[in-house]
Structure 1
Amino acid sequence: MKSWFKSGSPWIWMTAGAVSISLISVIGLLLLIAWRGLSFFWPSAIHQFDVQQNGQNAVVIGEVYDREYVPTTRLIQAGVDTKGFKGEEIERLLIKTGNREYVDLDFRWILRTDIQTQTKPSGVAVFERSKNGNFYGFVSQIIEDGKTIDNPSNEQLEELIERAVNFNEEALDLQNGPIGSINYRLERIRLEERALELKEKLTPEDSAAFNQERKELKANYLELEKELFNLRKLAERDFVIVKDMRGEQVRIPLSQVLDVTFPNDMSFITKAGRFLIQVSKFITDDPREANTEGGVFPAIFGTVFMVMLMAVIVTPFGVIAAIYLHEYAAKNAVTKVIRIAVINLAGVPSIVYGVFGLGFFVYMLGGSIDELFYPEASPSPTFGTPGVIWSALTLAILTLPVVIVSTEEGLSRIPSSIRQGSLALGATKAETLWRIIIPMASPAIMTGLILAVARAAGEVAPLMLVGVVKMAPTLPLDGNFPFIHLDRKFMHLGFHIYDVGFQSPNVEAARPLVYATAFLLVSVIVALNITAIGIRNHLREKFKSLEH
């Protein structure tokens, strides 16, 4: 045993065991997040409960969202009648009932002892709506263009819903497209006219031209507005009559319905197809209902756009700084202090960078840009307010030490004989760096970029101060000149998780979205890293011959 310890084998096994435990823990955590997040999109069975509480009978229709066991003594102390139940614990079910405009809460707890009967009725419909959440009930009639149809088929209902959805999408595209462009151009005309007024260069000819263009735009706006109102009127034509759990007949406009499903009548294959549809809608749709419903596409776009912009900014600065420190700077006390400062910057809390970004980039630099180039927009700030460019710059400074250290380590691994041989053949030092040293160090540069992307994509605290918001009405990329709007605020997956998990007015509805968005954020980071790793491996193979 003593010789075994001296051989070092125990430490090898201990290290391997620690690595295995860490790997299993990470994989287990990811699997847990994936299961809790993706299971939300699986069509759940709809139950009908006949409940008797406090001597009153009621019918509850909804999904079983969660279940737990509560000590009987605790329920008795809370004044709950357990009806002579002798067990130590009573099962309690959390039911999502929806129909929130007709009930106090769209989630309610039901004790197993209060349930008289529990069934899965056939024909119960789940309506996904643009507001007020889901609606559960039995379809009685549909009203198509004023005509009542009793006991309609599922296909008839789905066709009318698809019709209304298509008209709503056309109206939204019209509002965000041509109408949005007209509004954007009208605002630009106002700013251009004000800029000429401030410079005292506004001539009667300029005013006439502005007024003429404004008149033409408003005429086009009125035509598009008529088309918009017509689309909305067509979408609001039909209705569906649904019998809810109270036994009441509820009239629901199909213009508010996004989709309808009948989970209790679905086969496994149908549910699997429905699951894929729901996941794709989560990725491609905009959020609704205070981010507790809908999709997260603006957050995905904002995260990827900000990270790519940060990478474009941090890479050249980090590489140039590393090249100077390693290739040109003298080995003296000042250089040592700079290296220590770079290493210490990597340990500064991210919120400190956020405060610095808010004070320096937003208020000082952005405010100065507004004074010099956008005085016509005053007092409304253009760049003197949090935006995606300031977020990218803040995270670029945050991740700069990682890129510098990684690049410098790559430069230090290149033998000095290669530099000397290049110089001996007549190449200048700049040519040696550009043609030999930087290509050989490119894998290390990509390694630093991978680490920078991994950290930047998950940061939230600094972004809350310099650009990220709960809901961004427009993306920082659109069809209006200059097409890329770096001054706009944006959404971020990390902040979306924080907002849904801790700021949501409907905690139970938001909980599955926290897991789903967290899994999506991890997937986005992995995708970005895999892309960067692929580029690094390609560069490593491409410049491998330089090492020999």
Structure 2
Amino acid sequence: MKDWFKKGSPWIWLSGGAVTISMVMVLGLVLMIAYNGLSHFWPKPVLEFEYQLEGQASAERVIGEISRSETMTAAAMREAGFHVPEDQAVVVRHLIKRGNRDVTGQDFVWYLEDFMSNKRFPEDILVLERLQWGDFYGFLREFVIDGEVVTIGDDARRAFENTLQETSQLVREINVIERVNIGDVNFRMEQLRRQLRGLQLNETISDEQRAVLEAEVAESRADLDAQYAELEQRRNELRREVSRYAITMETMGGQMRRIPLNNIVHAWRPNEMSFFQKVGHYGRSFWDFVSGYPREANTEGGILPAIYGTVLMVLIMSVVVTPFGVLAAIYLREYAKQGPLTQLIRISVNNLAGVPSIVFGVFGLGFFVYFLGGNIDQMFYSETLPSPTFGSPALIWASLTLALLTLPVVIVSTEEGLSRIPRSIRDGSLALGATKAETLWRTVVPLAAPAMMTGLILAVARAAGEVAPLMLVGVVKMAPSLPLDGNYPFLHLDRAFMHLGFHIFDVGFQSPNVEAGRPLVYATAMVLVFLIVILNLTAMVIRNRLREKYRSESD
């Protein structure tokens, strides 16, 4: 046993065990997030049952999906007001997603297993995903055109399925007109308004020149007004067309509710779907999630703006932090005189890495947004004041704040990479007649490139998941437009943006409907993890190629 300890075998096993436990924990966390996130898009069977508590005169008819089940102690349920027999120790309860929030006011309700009876899965139950008020569960009874009942029964089902495809196409066309076409016209109108305001404030031009330029602006404004009127007319025509159609649904309480087709996103009958139909529904739902826009206080719809904002912020942050971090590390390692001052700078850089991220957010708000952005508005965008352009939280300030946050990581990694380059390589280059600058940029820096990429990988991993500083310098709950679009200059750094991390926080802790947002928290977290992995893998591939290209003795 003494020899075993002297050889260090226990520490080898201890290290291996710690690595194994860490890997299992990380894998378990990823699998948990993936399971809870991906299972949300699978069409679950819809249960119909009768629920009657002791003392109730009649049973309640309930229709919905089983969201999750729990085993509770009978004592806890008695304290909650339920009558449970004294000889019973535990009670099973189910959280039923019954939808129909506009009818019942509450779409998630707990039901006790002991009081549920006559369970069945009717094939004719229809589930509707709506633009407003969440999902709807019920039975299709009538198909309505212009307020008149046209067909009922099976004929109503066929008419509904055929017409829903047409109305969905029209609704998509309406969305394109509103988000793209009308958005472009509004953007150009705002540019003209700024231009006109600038002419009015410009005192260096004569009145005649100002009148000519104002006439040109007015002519352009008239053309845009005509385009806007044409688009608005087309949109109103499409709205009138899709508003003609509706269906009548029977709820679990026997009520009849009329639902317009323009409020329906998707419709399916989960209890009669085959496996391959469910797979197709799953793929379509997941694609709508990653490519759609959020709605219903972020508890419904997609996360495309959040993905856009996260990727753009990380890319801009990487472009900013890499040259500054690399140049700072090169100066500290290669040019600065090694002494107390340099050592103090290194200590400050290392300590900067431990500063809480919210402190960087406060600094970014005070320096970047109010001071730097406010002065930019005063000098270059005075025609827009008092409405700020760069003097408000925006994508550029969030990127710069995170670049400052991750700068110590890049500096330390680059310095370590430079320190690993043998002195003999530098001396050999200088002996062959190269200058110090040539030796540095053509020999030393390429050999240290893998270490620089390692610092960038660590910076991306940290920046992509940060939320606290972003809440002060640019991230918002709902962004009216994407920071990247088809309008010049295409990348709008002055716009606020959405972020996957903040979206998770908002849905998980600020949502008015916690149960509806719970699966979206896991799904968004899964997308964020996947996005970070993709960004890191890209950086790793670049690093490995550089390492192979510039392999040296130090490797």
Among 507, 526, 530, which residue is 2:537 paired with? 530
User: Is the 1:440–1:547 Cα contact (8 Å) retained in structure 2?
Assistant: no
Which residue in 2 is equivalent to 1:105? 106
**1:425-481 deviation line (CA, Å, top 9, x unaligned):** 222222222211111111111000000000000000000000001111111011111
Q: Partners of 2:82 and 2:24 in 1: how far apart?
A: 43
Which residue in 1 is equivalent to 2:49? 49
For residue 546 of structure 1, report the CA deviation from its aligned partner.
8.7
Matched, 1:330 2:332: no
Matched, 1:476 2:478: no
Unmatched segments (≥5 aa) in structure 2: none
Matched, 1:520 2:517: no
1:452-467 matches, cutoff 5 A: 452-467=459-474
Task: Choose 218-227 or 314-323, whichever is displaced more.
Answer: 218-227
Secondary structure of the 2:104 match is coil
For residue 155 of structure 1, report the CA deviation from its aligned partner.
5.3
For residue 185 of structure 1, report the CA deviation from its aligned partner.
1.3
Among 47, 58, 61, which residue is 1:59 paired with? 61
For residue 272 of structure 1, report the CA deviation from its aligned partner.
2.1
User: Is the 1:387–1:489 Cα contact (8 Å) retained in structure 2?
Assistant: yes
For residue 236 of structure 1, report the CA deviation from its aligned partner.
1.6
Q: Partners of 1:186 and 1:76 in 2: how far apart?
A: 64
For residue 156 of structure 1, report the CA deviation from its aligned partner.
4.1
For residue 168 of structure 1, report the CA deviation from its aligned partner.
1.1
User: Is the 2:199–2:214 Cα contact (8 Å) retained in structure 1?
Assistant: no
Secondary structure of the 1:544 match is coil
Which residue in 1 is equivalent to 2:170? 167
Q: Partners of 1:248 and 1:77 in 2: how far apart?
A: 33
User: Is the 2:447–2:552 Cα contact (8 Å) retained in structure 1?
Assistant: no
User: Is the 1:141–1:152 Cα contact (8 Å) retained in structure 2?
Assistant: no
Secondary structure of the 1:320 match is helix
Q: Partners of 1:490 and 1:434 in 2: how far apart?
A: 38
Secondary structure of the 2:103 match is coil
1:529 maps to amino acid: N
User: Is the 1:436–1:546 Cα contact (8 Å) retained in structure 2?
Assistant: no
**% identity of equivalent residues:** 54
Cα RMSD over matched residues? 1.6
1:492 maps to amino acid: H
User: Is the 2:182–2:228 Cα contact (8 Å) retained in structure 1?
Assistant: yes
Q: Partners of 1:167 and 1:472 in 2: how far apart?
A: 24
Secondary structure of the 1:102 match is helix
1:224-303 matches, cutoff 5 A: 224-303=231-310
User: Is the 1:48–1:62 Cα contact (8 Å) retained in structure 2?
Assistant: yes
Task: Choose 268-277 or 299-308, whichever is displaced more.
Answer: 268-277
**1:289-329 deviation line (CA, Å, top 9, x unaligned):** 00001111111111011000000000000000011011100
For residue 57 of structure 1, report the CA deviation from its aligned partner.
1.9
Q: Partners of 2:407 and 2:187 in 1: how far apart?
A: 36
Q: Partners of 1:25 and 1:492 in 2: how far apart?
A: 26
Task: Choose 25-34 or 111-120, whichever is displaced more.
Answer: 111-120
Unmatched segments (≥5 aa) in structure 1: none
Which residue in 1 is equivalent to 2:378? 371
Among 402, 418, 424, which residue is 1:395 paired with? 402
Which residue in 1 is equivalent to 2:136? 135
Which residue in 2 is equivalent to 1:186? 189
Return closer, same or farther for 1:335/1:251 CA change in 2, 3 Å cut-off: same
Secondary structure of the 2:370 match is helix
User: Is the 2:420–2:554 Cα contact (8 Å) retained in structure 1?
Assistant: no
Q: Partners of 2:151 and 2:384 in 1: how far apart?
A: 56
**1:241-277 deviation line (CA, Å, top 9, x unaligned):** 2111111222110000011011100122221222122
Which residue in 1 is equivalent to 2:70? 68
Q: Partners of 2:81 and 2:451 in 1: how far apart?
A: 66
Secondary structure of the 1:131 match is coil
User: Is the 1:302–1:492 Cα contact (8 Å) retained in structure 2?
Assistant: yes
Aligned length: 547
Q: Partners of 1:241 and 1:374 in 2: how far apart?
A: 54
For residue 5 of structure 1, report the CA deviation from its aligned partner.
1.2
Q: Partners of 2:251 and 2:123 in 1: how far apart?
A: 14
**1:183-225 deviation line (CA, Å, top 9, x unaligned):** 1111111111111211223621122112121112112211111
For residue 108 of structure 1, report the CA deviation from its aligned partner.
0.8
Q: Partners of 1:77 and 1:327 in 2: how far apart?
A: 72
Among 165, 176, 180, which residue is 2:179 paired with? 176
Q: Partners of 1:68 and 1:313 in 2: how far apart?
A: 50
Matched, 1:217 2:220: no
User: Is the 2:61–2:253 Cα contact (8 Å) retained in structure 1?
Assistant: yes
User: Is the 2:417–2:448 Cα contact (8 Å) retained in structure 1?
Assistant: yes
2:341 maps to amino acid: V
Q: TM-score scaled by structure 1?
A: 0.97
For residue 86 of structure 1, report the CA deviation from its aligned partner.
2.7
Which residue in 1 is equivalent to 2:327? 320
User: Is the 1:440–1:546 Cα contact (8 Å) retained in structure 2?
Assistant: no
User: Is the 1:125–1:262 Cα contact (8 Å) retained in structure 2?
Assistant: yes
Matched, 1:405 2:400: no
1:516 maps to amino acid: A
Q: Partners of 1:483 and 1:474 in 2: how far apart?
A: 12
